[in-house]
Each structure stands twice: as C-alpha cells, then as structure tokens.
Amino acid sequence: MYPPSRKDFISLTLSDPHSHSYNNGKHRRQSCWRKWKQLSRLQRSLILFLLALLLIFGLLSYPSLSEQWRGLSDRDEWLELNDRELDAVLPAVRPVLGQHVGKAPVPVVGPHVGPAVGPDAGPVIRLDAGPVIRPDGGPVIRPDAGPVIHPDAGPVFRPDAGPVIHPDAGPVFRPDAGPVFRPDAGPVIRPDAVVEPRGPIVPILPKPPIKKYLFSNKRGPPSLQKEGNMSDTVGGEKKEQEVVQDEGEEEEEDKDKKIVSWRGAMIEADQATEPPPSANDKGAAAPPAPVNPADSVPLEVSPGPVDRLETVRDAFRHAWKGYKSYAWGHDELRPISKSFSEWFGLGLTLIDSLDTMWILGLKEEFAEAKNWVDNELNFNKNVDVNLFETTIRVLGGLLSAYHLSGDQLFFEKAKDLGSRLMPAFKTPSKIPFSDVNIGKGTAHPPRWTTDSTLAEVTSIQLEFRELSRLTQDPQYQDVANEVMRLVHKLPGKHDGLVPMFINTNSGQFSHKGVLTLGARADSYYEYLLKQWIQGGKTEEDLLEDYLQAIEGVKKHLVRHTGPNGLTFVGELNHNRFNPKMDHLVCFLPGTLALGVHNGLPEDHMDLAVQLMETCHQMYTQMETGLSPEIVHFSLQASDSRDIIVKPADRHNLLRPETVESLFYMYRFTKDTKYRDWGWDILQSFNNYTKVLDGGYTSINNVRDPTNPGPRDKMESFFLGETLKYLYLLFSDDMEQLSLDKFIFNTEAHPLPIWPSPPK
C-alpha cells in the first residue's frame, strides 16, 4: 500500500477589478501634497532648514559610525572563518551527524530499527536511518549516494579519509560537550558484505569524559540476578585493565578510560562502563553472572589428548554466559559493552541456540531457554520482521527444537509464527515481500524498491513445507512451492545462475548485472538441492535447476589462482569476471558433497574437495587464523600471493560456512584433516574473539593479531550454526543427526527428511 501522493496547496487572493474597494495609496500621495501646499511660506522654510541641519549632522558623524560598522562586519568574517576551521577540525562530524542533529529521532519503522532514544535522552544519531541493509550478507543498497556507513559495529568511514567514528567504541561526545552521541544506540542492522572502507580508529575531539550510565543491567534468568556487576570483579578481585592503544594517539591519562582492550588471547570488555539500559530494563540490581575462573584465562591446549567435544561445549557455555548475563531474551549479545542489540525483538540468539544446546547435551541451559519460550516469547507484537531471517532462524529453530525434544510447546509456537508470516505472500506476483508485521498482519517491500532478494524468497521453503507437513495444512507449502515454480520457469537465468533480485510486482528478475554464489543468491542453490532431498528426491524441477546451476558455476565462475592453482568461485559482473569470493560461498563444498552423497555426479565431489581447500586457506593465510568476510584471488602466476584482502573486507563475523562444509566433508570422506582444520578454526575463535566476561565478538581485522578490533557483536548464528557444526564435526556418533534422516536448513536447524510415501 502506498501513501497518497502529497498535495501542496497555495492560497491566492485575487483582487476583483470590478470591486469598488478604496484605493488607499494614491489617495495618501494626493493628500500629502495638498497639505504641503496649505503650509505658510515660513512653515515650509523652517521644515527645510531642519532637514538641512539633519543632513549636515549626519555627514559629520559618518566616520565614527563607519568605524563601528566595519568592526561588526569583521566579526562576521571571523565567525565564518571559525566555521571553516571547525569544518577542517571535525570533518567527520558533519557528514555523520548530518541531517539528524537536533531533529527528532527517525521514526521507528521496519526491522532495522532499535530504540530511538539513547540513554541520555539527548539527540540520537541513527546510523542506519538511510540505508537499509540486508541483514545477512548483502551489499548496502542506497538509493541516495550518501556516505556508506557500516551498520554492524565497524568504523564509520568518510570517503575523504577524515577521522573515523567507531560505533563500538562506546559513547562519543559532541565537541560542545552536549548530549551523548551513541552510534550503537540506534537501530541494529545485520552486517555482512557491506562494503566498508576502514581507517584508523580516531577519537572525536575533544576527549570525552567517561559517561557512567546510571542504569542497572539486570539481565538473565532469576538464578543469575545477584547484587553487583560481575564486570567489576573477576575471581573476587577487581581486574586490572590492560590497554592497548588503537592508534597510539590516545593520551596517557586516557589509557584507563579506553573502552576495549586487548590482552593477547582474550578480549576484555570495559570494566568502567555499565551497559546501556534496555526498554525492558526494570531498574533492578545489576546481575553478576557466575564467575568461572576457567573462563578468565586464554584457552590453552594441553599436551595430552584434548577433548574436542568438551572444548566446543566450553565455547558454547562461554558464549551463553555472556548472553544470559547481558542480553537475556534479546536478539544479540554485545559482549564488549555488556549489552544487547535488538533486531526483531524475538530472542533470536536464544531460539537459534535451542537445538544446539540439545545436541551438545546442555540440559540445564536448554531448560532455562525453554522456560523463556514458554513464558516470554510472544509473536503478537507490532514489529516488522524480515521474512527470510525470521523463517530460517526462528521458525527453523522452533521446528528443529520440536523435532529433537518432542516438546509440543515449540510446535505451537512455530504454528503461531508461521501463520503470522503468511501476509508476506500477498503480492501481485506471489513473490513475497521482504518484511512482515507479525502483529498487524501487513507486509511490504523495503522502503526504496519493490524488489525482494532472490536468496531470501527461495530459502524459506524447507521450513514452510515442514510446517505444512506437521500441521496438515497445505497453505504454507503452497505459497512456498509457488515461488519455486515461478522461479523455475522464469526467463533470465544464465546457464542456471540467477540474478540477485526479483520484483514483487512483475515477478521478473531485476538488476541482472551480478551473478554470484555469495550474498543475496547463495542459499537459492543450497535450497534447490535440500528441498529435493527433503521431499524424497521426487521433485524433478528442483534437481534440474540445481544440476544446471552447478554446470553454470563450473562454466562461468570457477577459476584457479595464478600462483598456486587454488580453485575458487568468482562472480560475473555485467559479463566481466570478478575474482572475488565472499566467505558465504564456503557453504558450497558441503552442499556439493551432500549432493554427491545423494547420487549426483562424482565430479561435484572433486570441486567440493578443491573449494574446501581454498576455504581452509582463507583461514590459514590470515595472521589470526580467521577468514575475512571477502577475499579476492590473484590470477597472475607471477604474484606472490593467491589471496588478496582489501582493507574493507578484513572483518570476521563468526560465520559458519567453512565449518559447515568441513562437517559435511568429514562425514562423507572420514578424512581427519577436515577435523583438524575445524579444530584450528575453533582455537582461533578462542584466541581472537573470546570476550573475557562472556561471549564472543566479531572482529574488524583478521590480519592484525595484536589488535583484531572487537566489534562488540555476537551473531546468533555463532551459537546456532558455527558451534553446532564444530561439535558435529568432532563427534564420532554418525547416527547423531544422520544426513540420511535429517536435512539442515540454511541456519543449521535440522529438519527430518520426509519418509517416502508407500509405493
């Protein structure tokens, strides 16, 4: 529904030529002249004399008056100059504060919004007020070509290389020491492949005083709510904060005020700053989480045999501890600031983690979480959610928890949510809108387009189909299958490769320039195969599209690096090959291997093995042992390196795709090198992303082990996917979630493969 077009009204008053209204001006001129003529000669002379006197007096006093006028205009110039100088001093402030300073906060609309007012109730600058960003990996689509602002805790960068505001660096103060500008107090937007030029983290002038929030940070289940703030004490003593300068520009006296510090193997959160308040914060006493001394030291690999499964469990417990302490019931943990971020307000991390806890055998944690689902999870709320993200994480998480635990509660919640997502499909083309208001039952596309992302509309089918099977209500399956049917017969594919967007009005592909297996297209390919397997390998269209697409990938996108012949999957950009690969593409080796396991051509396995090696290299060639978000490959044999990482792409978001593929590769080949590669990755996560008091954080720079730059965000998929796949990779129990019985959705939630119908 579009708002009616705006109408501007201009009120005009037209004089009526026939009116007999009184003509005031003319009459006044005539009467003045008549009065002058009526004066006596003496009177007229006196008046003229006085006028002459006034003129002489004016001429005499002119020099001193002009002095004063010049003084005034000099001051104006000075003020202007100061403005220009200020511009030079604070080049980053204006573009960032830009339109919103002093204005009312941007209205809260859509899923990309959070609390509109910061803790200090001063004006809040909302970093994402303009761009809407695909939460999970797409580039920023900005209809206006404003500055690119990374929504997810990366530094805000100005093209003119001015100072950078780091959204996670805590409160940033305006130069006039006015209200606090908190980049992270605004909407929370998911990160991913946003092009995010980086620069040094430089504090905004002048040095901010430390802002102590006067709010309690009560979070977590009742058992965790004790007096005091656990961040103040670790092991009974106040921890000494070790500070490493970001840029070496911080002054000595500010060292103890830095928000984030780096201790070599464990990121230490700020101990002086309390978390910002939440809407749900009831102002009770601050909650310490239980202190586990083992968590306060870096992970060390003992010389004896290491229990890898237990190490994954420890990692999960540590992540969960942070979530329970500071983000309980909220979408994501911000482990550095010991707070949380809200995306849809559906407890994303908690729901994404349910089946992981079940699989890892963490019964206590599972019971606590289930209790929250039972008592707190409520879908009857006026909130816009992203159809895809809510389906894969929440609907998928609930269905999976239901299948593993058998608890009817999860099924009831899944049913409720599924029916609330259905309005998204009410479009002219039956290609769903990206956003649904689950309380109001309305749906809409993003604000700037009527397109939906291709991967999003074609990666909800496993969940909707399963919901129909369980409820025996075909409506969910019908709408989801219809999307696949439409895309199957749609012209505009390039040897099975699909563009990144599809229009919800026309049902046609749009923005056809880029063909990728990364952001915005990735899980389309994954779900072709997985739906085919889920449905008992009977739906031929799905198989045909999958096989054709893999041939398209081999023909157009697979290349080998010049230096060492690494195989990679690049992109086609308006028919030009771009040797760029998102980390997201590392789902492909696992998917290819799954296809071969289900009888598809053997040469798919060769490609899977080669791509797995490349994804592994994307980790091992980085100084932290963690892959960047995006890599470029060299096609020149003379180059010294196969992998090039651009400064904008150095971040790591704790993503699962490589360990996901390692899990499949190990299951199907039993080659233990895949386990070892996964083990190395787990250790790197522990070494560079683990936060002292609980939680793991995404980082800014996988190439700088001395300062990886914590971003203060633990994505829900770290618990939902990354740790789950690592656990299953190390587990010897092949019957636990057998790949002949379960199919994992794109958020790693296992759903049963449907039993074949009786013949």
Report whether 287 contacts 217 (CB < 8 A): yes
**DSSP character for 498?**
-
Residue among 136 and 184 whose Cβ is closer to ligand DMJ: 136
Residue among 342 and 407 whose Cβ is closer to ligand DMJ: 342
Between CA 259 and CA 241 the distance in angstroms is: 10
Least separation in angstroms between residue 246's CB and ligand DMJ is 27
The one catalytic residue among 120, 168, 246, 389: 389
- Beta-strand runs (E) in 500-557: 501-503, 509-510, 514-515
Asked if 203 interacts with ligand DMJ (CB under 6 A), we say no
Least separation in angstroms between residue 702's CB and ligand DMJ is 15
Q: Which stretch binds ligand DMJ (CB under 6 A): 162-170, 233-241, 285-293, 655-663?
A: 655-663
Name beta bridge partners: 333: 340, 714
Least separation in angstroms between residue 265's CB and ligand DMJ is 25
Site mask for ligand DMJ (CB under 6 A), range 658-697, x = bound: ----------------------------------------
Following CA atoms 136, 139, 140, 146 in sequence, which dihedral angle do they give, to the nearest 10 degrees?
A: 150
Between CA 409 and CA 403 the distance in angstroms is: 11
3-state secondary structure of 313: helix
Least separation in angstroms between residue 652's CB and ligand DMJ is 11
Give the CA diameter of the chain.
128
Q: Which stretch binds ligand DMJ (CB under 6 A): 225-233, 537-545, 651-659, 750-758?
A: 651-659
- Among residues 349, 343, 358, the alpha carbon closest in space to that of 326 is found at 349
Residue 639 bears catalytic tag: no
Least separation in angstroms between residue 717's CB and ligand DMJ is 4
Identify the residue whose tokens are 């697979």. Answer: 558
The one catalytic residue among 250, 368, 463, 522: 522
Report whether 677 contacts 616 (CB < 8 A): yes
Least separation in angstroms between residue 653's CB and ligand DMJ is 7
Residue among 504 and 658 whose Cβ is closer to ligand DMJ: 658
Identify the residue whose tokens are 């780091």. Answer: 166
450 carries a ligand binding annotation: no
* Residues 575-604 contacting ligand DMJ, CB under 6 A: 584
Q: Which stretch binds ligand DMJ (CB under 6 A): 109-117, 529-537, 564-572, 650-658?
A: 650-658
Least separation in angstroms between residue 300's CB and ligand DMJ is 29
Residue among 219 and 655 whose Cβ is closer to ligand DMJ: 655
Least separation in angstroms between residue 390's CB and ligand DMJ is 11
- Helix (H) / strand (E) element for 203: namely none
* Identity of residue 674: Y
Residue among 633 and 717 whose Cβ is closer to ligand DMJ: 717
Q: Which stretch binds ligand DMJ (CB under 6 A): 69-77, 116-124, 542-550, 653-661?
A: 653-661
- For 143, the token pair is 């209809």
Residue 759: which residues within 8 A CB-CB, separation 6 or more?
A: none
Report whether 442 contacts 423 (CB < 8 A): yes
Least separation in angstroms between residue 721's CB and ligand DMJ is 6
Least separation in angstroms between residue 343's CB and ligand DMJ is 12
Site mask for ligand DMJ (CB under 6 A), range 531-570, x = bound: ----------------------------------------
Residue among 250 and 435 whose Cβ is closer to ligand DMJ: 435
Residue 522 bears catalytic tag: yes
Between CA 715 and CA 331 the distance in angstroms is: 9
For residue 335, which phi and psi values (nearest 5 degrees)? -70, -25
Question: How many residues touch ligand DMJ (CB under 6 A)?
Answer: 11
- Other CB atoms within 10 Å distance of the CB of residue 252: 7
Least separation in angstroms between residue 459's CB and ligand DMJ is 7
Between CA 693 and CA 687 the distance in angstroms is: 14
Q: Which of 523, 534, 697, 701 binds ligand DMJ (CB under 6 A)?
A: 523
Name beta bridge partners: 262: 267
Residue among 397 and 499 whose Cβ is closer to ligand DMJ: 397
Name beta bridge partners: 710: 699
- Helix (H) / strand (E) element for 397: namely helix 396-405
The one catalytic residue among 352, 629, 642, 693: 629
Residue among 335 and 656 whose Cβ is closer to ligand DMJ: 656
Q: Which stretch binds ligand DMJ (CB under 6 A): 235-243, 402-410, 595-603, 649-657?
A: 649-657
Site mask for ligand DMJ (CB under 6 A), range 113-142, x = bound: -----------------------xx-----
Strand 261-262 vs strand 267-268: parallel, antiparallel, or unpaired?
Answer: antiparallel
The one catalytic residue among 196, 657, 660, 747: 657
Q: Which of 656, 694, 708, 709 binds ligand DMJ (CB under 6 A)?
A: 656
How far is C-alpha 620 from the geometric centre of its chain's CA atoms?
26
DSSP per-residue letters across 24-83 = HHHHHHHHHHHHHHHS-HHHHHHHHHHHHHHHHHHHHHHHHHHHHHHHHHHHHHHHHHHH
Position with the least CB separation from ligand DMJ: 746
Query: What is the torsional sign of CA 400, 401, 406, 409?
Result: negative
Residue among 190 and 218 whose Cβ is closer to ligand DMJ: 190
How far is C-alpha 560 from the geometric centre of its chain's CA atoms?
32
Q: Which stretch binds ligand DMJ (CB under 6 A): 4-12, 150-158, 213-221, 654-662?
A: 654-662
> Which residue pairs from 566-570 have beta carbons closer than 8 angstroms and sit at least 24 positions apart in sequence?
566/610, 566/613, 566/614, 566/617, 566/633, 566/642, 566/643, 567/607, 567/610, 567/611, 567/613, 567/614, 568/611, 568/614, 568/633, 569/517, 569/611, 570/633
Q: Which of 174, 334, 651, 655 binds ligand DMJ (CB under 6 A)?
A: 655
- For 95, the token pair is 């573009």
Site mask for ligand DMJ (CB under 6 A), range 700-719, x = bound: -----------------x--
Between CA 510 and CA 530 the distance in angstroms is: 25
- For 370, the token pair is 């289930």
Residue among 545 and 582 whose Cβ is closer to ligand DMJ: 582
Q: Three-class SS string for 633-702? A: ECCCCCCCCCEECCHHHCCECCCCHHHHHHHHHHHHHCCHHHHHHHHHHHHHHHHHCEECCCCECCECCC
- Other CB atoms within 10 Å distance of the CB of residue 103: 9
- For 202, the token pair is 């430089």
Residue among 504 and 698 whose Cβ is closer to ligand DMJ: 698
Q: Which of 421, 465, 746, 750 binds ligand DMJ (CB under 6 A)?
A: 746
Give the chain's length. 759
How far is C-alpha 423 from the geometric centre of its chain's CA atoms?
24
Between CA 432 and CA 274 the distance in angstroms is: 42
Residues of the binding site: 746
Q: Residues forming the annotated binding site for Ca(2+)?
A: 746
Catalytic residue positions? 389, 522, 629, 657
The residues binding ligand DMJ (CB under 6 A) are 136-137, 523, 584, 655-657, 717, 721, 746-747
